[in-house]
Amino acid sequence: MPNLTLHEWERDFRTAAGADRYDIFRDHLRFLELPGKALSMMEATVLMVRASAAYYTIDGRSYDDFLAMQQYNPAQSPYARYAFTFDLYGKAYARLLVGAEIHAIDLADLYGHPWEPYKAVGYSQIWISHTDWTDLTEEEMEVLDKQVTDDLRYDYTEDELDFWLDDSNAKYLYVYVCEPDDEEEA
């Protein structure tokens, strides 16, 4: 795929989603038993891709490979292995596709990112699954656990951020993220 500008990617992504009537996102939400709407997921995903591209730019890196991976239909993204579904505090859900190494996205940066349309900052939960919904292996769960932990702990200390991971469902690794005071109040 030739390198796309962010504008071209967004146009193509929206066109593909609209042509499918957002069925892939609808199925995605249904699979994870999330209450969101498919159109809302498309909008939130576009925002999250834009934010990720901005962090690539800030870091002086090209986001071409990352952008090429962000296909509406995961089956059309040959290098995408995992789907990361982010809960933007119940306001919307967003999906990013990543390869075997999750370092294509910066979970710590996204945790601190403001989502103006939702009047929220960051995310509260992540579901990490295969793009084809097959079971994650124990080894994959361990690797993903380590990569998520390393990413978040690189920027946030235990005093600044608390999170836990749940691998009890073989279909996805669940990540809950909160500030330490939030957990104590719950």
Give me the domain span that covers residue 28.
Answer: 6-185
Q: What is the pLDDT of residue 102?
A: 87
Is residue 94 in some structural domain? yes
Whether residue 11 has pLDDT greater than 80: yes
Is residue 87 in some structural domain? yes
Is residue 181 in some structural domain? yes
Is residue 109 in some structural domain? yes
Q: What is the pLDDT of residue 183?
A: 46
Is residue 160 in some structural domain? yes
In this prediction, residue 78 has a pLDDT band, given cuts at 50, 70 and 90, of confident
Rounded to whole angstroms, the Cα distance separating 162 from 152 reads 9
CA dist 103 → 22, 117, 147, 165 (Å): 27, 26, 8, 18
In this prediction, residue 139 has a pLDDT band, given cuts at 50, 70 and 90, of very high
Is residue 125 in some structural domain? yes
Is residue 1 in some structural domain? no
Is residue 178 in some structural domain? yes
Whether residue 116 has pLDDT greater than 80: yes
Residues 6+ apart with CB under 8 A from 42: 13, 14, 17, 22, 25, 72
Number of domains within the chain: 1
Instruction: Tokens for 183, please give them.
Output: 């957990």
